[in-house]
Structures are given as C-alpha cells and as structure tokens.
C-alpha cells in the first residue's frame, strides 16, 4: 500500500507531489527506449541541406528511434520538425515495399517480382536506345547518344548513387540526365 504514490503523498503531507513521492516503482524502472538499443548508428538527416547529425537506435534489426546527434558541430543534437519525424519517415506504414507495375492502358497496379522488373526495364532501355540512336549530326559531328531516354533525379540521393547514375547513363549515351539541382 505504501508504494502507491498517493499514500506516500498523504503520509508526507506533500501537496505539490512533484518529487520523489510521485514515483511508483514502475516510474523508477522507466527508461528511454533508446537504452534498449543493441547498436547506435551515426547518420545524417535526409531532408534539407543543413546536414544535421542523427543517431539511429537499433534493436534486433529494427529501428527503435532516431535522435539528433549531440556531437555534431552543425546541429549540436537539434533536429527541426521534419528531422524529428525521420523515425516515422523510415519506419512508417506508408512505405511501399513491393515493386508495382501498371501495364499500358491499365486501370490498376499489379505486383511483380523485383528481378523481373529490373530485367524488363533493362530490355526497354536497350530497345529505346537501339531504335533511337544518333551517331552524328547533319554536319558529321559525333553525337554517340540517344535522345529517347531521360532521367530526373532527386537531391536526397547519395553522392555514390549519383555517381553511378551519371556513369551508367553516360555509358549508354543518355545525355538528358537532370536533377532537382536545376529546379
């Protein structure tokens, strides 16, 4: 009975009940869920370009929480409303986890296997490229390209990803490669 906070408060004539007397044994045992993490991974906020540091708390292959990294000289532990919502961004139920396919004139999405989808895209790239190849302009200047394929990339992709995008498309002769950075 005496562990019940209200009893403690009456016994101690504690009207405010702000301190120790308001604690139950359960309260005493409470911990931030980040304490249960089996690893903490250094990360960077994926929204704007300030580049705030983030710490990703992981337990058994699941993300428990994402917090600001106090070590960062840029953000010193802070995150803005968007940065603070990163946990929901990456773990939320909104995320699509299957490849979806809409056939020409189709009225609905269909699920198809990832491997098949990549192969289908590769085939289409080859066809569009081969059928629309430009060797040279009218004056004979080399073009070595296709104008039938284009790309638009977001600016929250990694540098390493952009590097492969530019390299592969350049290798294929695709020149209409653009980015949010133009916008």
Partner 1 sequence: MAECHPVGFRWVMKAKERGATIIHVDPRFTRTSAVADIHVPIRAGSDIAFLGAIINYILTNDRYFKEYVVNYTNAPAIISEKYADTEDFDGLFGGWDEETKQYDRTMWLYEGVDADAAAGKKSGPRQPIRPEHTDPTLQHPRCVFQILKRHFARYTPEMVENICGIKPELFHKVAETLCKNSGRERTSAFCYAVGWTQHTVGVQYIRSAAIIQLLLGNMGRPGGGIMALRGHASIQGSTDIPTLYNLLPGYLPMPKAKQDKDFDSYIRFNESPSGWWGEFKKYAVSLLKAYYGDAATQENGWCFDRMPTIDGDHSHMNTVASMADGNIKGYFVMGENPTVGSMNASLQRKGLRELEWLVVRDLNLIETAEFWRDSPEIDRGELKSEDIATEVFFFPAAAHTEKDGSFTNTQRLLQWHHQAIEPPGDCQSELDFMYQLGLRLKELYRDSTLPRDRAIQDITWDYPSAESVLKEINGFTAADGKPVEGFTSLKDDGSTACGCWIYSGSYRDGINMTARRKLGSEQNWVAPEWAWAWPHNRRMLYNRASADPEGKPWSERKKYVWWDEEQKKWVGHDIPDFIVDRPPSYRPPREARGKETISGVDPFVMQADGKGWLFAAAGLQDGPLPTHYEPEESVARNLLYDQQCNPTRMEWRRKDNLYHRAYSDPRFPYVVTTYRLTEHHTAGGMSRWLSWLSELQPEMFCEVSPELAAKHELKNGGWATIWTARGEIEARVLVTNRLRPLRIQGGDIHQIGLPYHWASRGLVRGDSANELIGFVGDPNVSIQESKAFTAMIAAGRRGKRREVKALDEMAWERDLPPAEGDHVSSHNFKAEESKESNA
In order of 10, 18, 24, the CA distances from 3 in angstroms are 12, 16, 6
Question: Out of 12, 20, 33, 124, which residue is the one contacting partner 1 (CB under 8 A)?
Answer: 124
Q: Which is nearer to partner 1, 22 or 128 (CB)?
A: 128
Report if residue 36 touches partner 1, rule: CB under 8 A. Answer: no
CB of 28 to partner 1, least distance (A): 30
Query: Taking contact as CB under 8 A, which single stretch among the options 1-9, 10-18, 21-29, 61-69 is the one that binds partner 1?
Result: 61-69
Degrees, nearest 5: CA angle 84-88-90: 105
Q: Check binding of 71 to partner 1 (CB under 8 A).
A: yes
- Binding of partner 1 at residue 31 (CB under 8 A)? no
Contact status: 11 vs partner 1 (CB under 8 A): no
Check: CB of residue 153 under 8 Å from CB of residue 126: no
Burial 154-168 (b: 16+ CB within 10 A, else e): eeeeeeeebeebeee
Which residues lie below 8 Å from residue 30, measured CB to CB, with a gap of 6+? none
The footprint of partner 1 on residues 78-107 (CB under 8 A) is 78-86, 88-90, 92, 94-107
Q: How far apart are CA 122 and CA 124, in angstroms?
A: 5
Q: Which stretch binds partner 1 (CB under 8 A): 2-10, 16-24, 25-33, 132-140?
A: 132-140
Closest to partner 1 by CB, 26 or 94: 94
């Amino acid at each position: 009975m005496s562990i019940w906070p209200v009893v403690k408060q009456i016994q101690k004539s504690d009207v405010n009940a702000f301190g120790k007397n308001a604690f139950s044994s359960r309260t005493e045992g409470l911990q931030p869920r980040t304490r249960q993490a089996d690893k903490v991974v250094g990360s960077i906020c994926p929204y704007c370009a300030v580049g705030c540091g983030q710490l990703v708390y992981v337990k058994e292959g699941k993300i428990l929480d994402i917090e600001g990294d106090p070590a960062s000289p840029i953000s010193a532990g802070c995150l803005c409303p968007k940065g603070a919502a990163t946990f929901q961004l990456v773990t939320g139920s909104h995320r699509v986890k299957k490849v979806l396919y809409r056939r020409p004139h189709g009225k609905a999405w269909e699920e198809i296997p990832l491997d098949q989808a990549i192969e289908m895209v590769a085939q289409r790239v080859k066809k569009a490229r081969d059928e629309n190849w430009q060797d040279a302009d009218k004056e004979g200047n080399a073009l070595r390209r296709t104008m039938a394929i284009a790309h638009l990339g977001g600016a929250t992709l990694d540098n390493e990803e952009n590097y492969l995008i530019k390299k592969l498309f350049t290798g294929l002769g695709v020149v209409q490669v653009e980015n949010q950075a133009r916008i």
